């Protein structure tokens, strides 16, 4: 391994060593968020959202630094597998990739759940206001369309 590769590899693993605990915390918060979403605990969801934002603010500069130190067109995983000097560094890389992928998947899953909950909430608000609910909302409830009253609103005029 050339001196330049050794310096780059050492620097990348230093960043990963700093980033891994933050990613593990982020994954933990995402798991808590998933549980809070299942319980529909709005207070917990808001608090966890704040924790996620703070962690993202800490994680983002390190991920940008990782990308900046990689040779153009090279994936982090490939570069470090080729240039890793020990089993410990390969294990660290493997753990980093596992945690990163798990966090990314759970973040996406939670985001989709939040979007669905927001759509359901919008549908309920539309029904309460006497407006036609979004057709996708009615489908989610298992109906093809909502019954309208002679007055024009779903719930009628009060």
Sequence ranges of the domains in the chain: 3-140
For residue 66, the tally of other CB atoms under 10 A from its CB is: 18
Residue 43 — very low, low, confident or very high, per pLDDT cuts 50/70/90?
Answer: very high
pLDDT surpassing 60 at residue 45 = yes
CATH topology of domain 3-140: Methane Monooxygenase Hydroxylase; Chain G, domain 1 (1.20.58)
For residues 18 and 24, give the distance between their C-alpha atoms in angstroms, rounded to a whole number.
11
Q: What is the DSSP letter of 152?
A: S
pLDDT in tens, 65-108: 888 877 777 777 777 777 666 777 788 888 999 999 999 999 99
H-only helix segments in the chain:
3-39, 42-69, 76-83, 87-128, 135-140
The pLDDT of residue 113:
92
Q: Is the pTM of this model over 0.75?
A: no
* Interval 98-154: pLDDT, tens: 999 999 999 999 999 998 888 888 887 877 887 765 565 545 555 444 443 334 433
Please tell me which of 25-29, 142-146, 154-158 the model is most confident about, judged by mean pLDDT: 25-29
pLDDT at 73: 74
Interacting residues of 119 by C-beta distance below 8 A, sequence separation 6+: 134, 136, 137, 140
């Amino acid at each position: 391994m050339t001196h330049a590769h050794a310096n780059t590899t050492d620097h990348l693993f230093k960043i990963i060593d700093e980033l891994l605990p933050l990613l593990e915390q982020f994954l933990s918060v995402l798991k808590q968020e998933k549980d809070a979403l299942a319980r529909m605990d709005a207070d917990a969801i808001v608090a966890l959202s704040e924790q996620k934002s703070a962690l993202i603010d800490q994680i983002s500069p390190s991920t940008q630094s990782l990308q900046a130190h990689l040779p153009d067109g090279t994936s982090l995983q490939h570069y470090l597998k080729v240039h890793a000097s020990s089993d410990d560094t390969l294990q660290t890389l493997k753990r980093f990739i596992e945690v990163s992928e798990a966090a990314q998947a759970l973040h996406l899953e939670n985001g989709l759940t939040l979007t669905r909950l927001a759509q359901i909430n919008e549908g309920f608000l539309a029904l309460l206001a006497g407006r036609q609910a979004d057709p996708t909302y009615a489908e989610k409830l298992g109906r093809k369309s909502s019954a309208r009253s002679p007055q024009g609103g779903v719930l009628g005029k009060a």
